[in-house]
């Protein structure tokens, strides 16, 4: 496929597919295209938008458009294509746990760097949790890799909501590659072998790719499944049935609050039909800290290049000389955990490497795909401490 020139009307490009030129619009910061057609064609579906100029459309990734590869924000997956190994064969291997070693060289080409756009898909209940102050954690993806998945039907493989009319997501920029792991069988084997009655959502394959019948999507988890504080300019978004992306809220770190960005026409998308403009949240236990002139401060991060002292007045937002992520950790009944909440003499613990034995022994519950938590008496917890990881700025 190639992009040639510009098309007339609201479409700004012309994309050539199988020798036929179609009008198209660039979406997702150039990582994908919405392609239009006046007559049915392979891969095209009816355009659900009322009054649409073109009755058929499809979404394609920028990697399917040869001339669109220059200037992309992230690198696509790379693989040696041979007569015996094409994308169909790679997809089959990505869905086969025993083939993890075979696809590892390809999986390693999907990397997270400082400033990489990341995304995690949410249910309506999880969206409400983020508005109440949940940090980022668990399974997530590079936004680049899923830019062509725009409708709830396409996103069902990642959201775990096959019949949803709208899919929600939290989107942010990565602070550092250290904060993310690849869920491989040799490091997260407990998740791969977790019995169906102890898990939520799709299974974890262990190859580093999401389970899918058609797409090849590299997936990540937050390191040790721990919580990440929310960076500045993080967004809560919605994807509607017609492929429209709606920015619902943006995070304001100085105010520790989510600010409404959507208009009243999108109010119906929210699970509780809330029209609240401002959602203040309490600080999580995991947080960013930094040094300025040998003093320690709470930090605000705005990747890729802005890391400063947390202050409401602009004059006091000094640039940091060093930055770290502080995570409370503990051990309970020989299981490594992170602490996500404290209430009185009880701690809410999240398993860092969950497996079936730990889940049964600790009475942990799966709160979302791959994330297992349990309440523990503080008196039984050992090695409770705060762990600081200092980034290279």
Q: What angle do CA 186, 188, 193 make, to 5 degrees?
A: 95
Res 191 pLDDT > 90: yes
76 falls in which pLDDT band (50, 70, 90)? confident
pLDDT of the residue at 159: 85
- The phi and psi torsions of 116 (rounded to 5 degrees) equal -60, 130
Residue 342's pLDDT band (cuts 50, 70, 90):
very high
- Write down the pLDDT at residue 194: 96
pLDDT of residue 272: 74
Alpha helices in 181-316 (DSSP H): 189-192
Per the CB < 8 A criterion, the answer to whether 168 and 237 are in contact is: yes
In the chain, domain spans: 2-68, 97-280, 287-323, 327-388
* Confidence check: pLDDT of 66 > 80: no
Secondary structure (DSSP) of 62-73 = GGGSGGG-TT-S
Share of the chain above pLDDT 70, in %: 95
Q: Model confidence over 237-248: pLDDT tens digits?
A: 999 998 999 999
Q: Please report which confidence band the pLDDT of residue 81 belongs to, taking 50, 70 and 90 as the band edges.
A: low
Instruction: Give CA separation, 38 vs 15, 35, 95, 155, 215, in Å.
Output: 14, 11, 36, 26, 26
Distance, in Å, from the CA atom of 311 to the CA atom of 328, rounded to the nearest integer, reads: 23
Strands in 257-260's sheet, in edge-to-edge order, are 180-181, 220-222, 139-142, 117-122, 167-173, 235-239, 245-252, 257-260, 278-280
CB of 384 within 8 A of CB of 339? yes
Digit-coded pLDDT (tens) for 119-151: 999 999 999 999 999 999 999 999 999 999 999
Q: Are 162 and 255 in contact (CB under 8 A)?
A: no
Residue 310 CA to residue 301 CA, distance in Å, equals: 9
Mean per-residue pLDDT of the chain: 91
User: How many other C-beta atoms can be found within 10 angstroms of the C-beta atom of residue 183?
Assistant: 22
Torsion of CA 321, 322, 323, 327, to 10 degrees: -140
| Separation of alpha carbons 56 and 327, rounded Å | 49
CA distance 186 to 184: 6
Do the strands 382-390 and 322-332 form a parallel or antiparallel pair, or are they unpaired?
Answer: antiparallel
How does pLDDT run across 90-100, given as a tens digit for each residue? 999 999 999 99
The model's pTM: 0.92
Candidates 248, 236, 253; CA nearest to 302 is: 253
The residue with tokens 């942010």 is 172
Q: Which string of DSSP letters, residue by residue, matches 72-98?
A: -SSPPP-----SS--HHHHHHHHT-GG
Percent share of the chain, pLDDT over 90: 72
Which residue, 118, 132, 128, is CA-closest to 284?
Answer: 132
pLDDT for residue 183 is more than 90: yes
3-class state of residue 383 by DSSP = strand
Asked if the model's pLDDT at residue 178 lies above 60, the reply is yes
In eight-state DSSP terms, residue 101 is: H
Is the pLDDT assigned to residue 316 strictly greater than 90? Answer: no
What is the phi-psi region of residue 159: left when phi exceeds 0, alpha when psi lies from -120 to 50, beta otherwise? Answer: alpha
Q: Are 392 and 321 in contact (CB under 8 A)?
A: no
Q: Which tokens hold the place of 52?
A: 């649409």
């Amino acid at each position: 496929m190639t992009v040639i020139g510009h098309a007339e009307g609201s479409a700004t490009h012309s994309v050539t597919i199988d020798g036929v030129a179609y009008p198209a619009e660039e979406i997702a910061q150039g990582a994908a295209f919405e392609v239009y057609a006046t007559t049915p064609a392979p891969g095209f579906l009816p355009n659900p938008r009322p009054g649409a100029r073109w009755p058929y459309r499809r979404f394609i990734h920028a990697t399917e458009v040869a001339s669109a590869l220059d200037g992309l924000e992230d690198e696509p997956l790379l693989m040696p294509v041979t007569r015996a190994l094409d994308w169909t064969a790679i997809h089959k291997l990505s869905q086969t746990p025993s083939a993890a070693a075979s696809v590892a060289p390809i999986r390693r080409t999907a990397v997270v760097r400082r400033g990489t756009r990341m995304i995690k898909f949410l249910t309506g209940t999880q969206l409400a949790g983020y508005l109440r102050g949940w940090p980022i954690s668990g399974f997530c993806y590079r936004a680049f890799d899923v830019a062509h998945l725009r409708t709830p039907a396409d996103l069902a493989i990642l959201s775990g909501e096959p019949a949803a009319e709208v899919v929600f997501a939290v989107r942010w920029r990565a602070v550092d590659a250290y904060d993310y792991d690849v869920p491989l069988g040799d490091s997260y084997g407990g998740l791969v072998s977790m019995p169906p009655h102890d898990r939520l959502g799709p299974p974890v394959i262990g190859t580093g790719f999401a389970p899918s019948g058609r797409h090849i999507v590299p997936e990540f988890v937050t390191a040790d499944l721990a919580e990440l504080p929310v960076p500045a300019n993080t967004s809560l978004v919605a994807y509607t049935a017609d492929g429209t992306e709606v920015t619902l809220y943006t995070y304001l770190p100085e105010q520790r609050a989510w600010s409404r960005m959507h208009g009243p026409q999108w109010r119906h998308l929210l699970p509780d039909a809330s029209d609240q403009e401002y959602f203040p949240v309490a600080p999580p236990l995991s947080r960013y800290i930094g040094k300025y002139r040998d003093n320690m401060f709470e930090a605000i991060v705005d990747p890729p290049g802005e890391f400063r002292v947390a202050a409401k007045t602009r004059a006091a937002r000094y640039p940091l000389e060093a930055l770290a992520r502080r995570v409370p950790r503990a051990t309970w009944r020989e299981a490594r955990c992170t602490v996500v909440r404290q209430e009185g003499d009880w701690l809410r613990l999240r398993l860092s490497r969950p497996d079936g034995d730990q889940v049964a022994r600790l009475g942990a519950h799966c709160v979302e795909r791959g994330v297992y938590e349990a309440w523990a008496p503080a008196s039984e917890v050992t090695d409770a401490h705060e762990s600081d990881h200092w980034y290279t700025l």
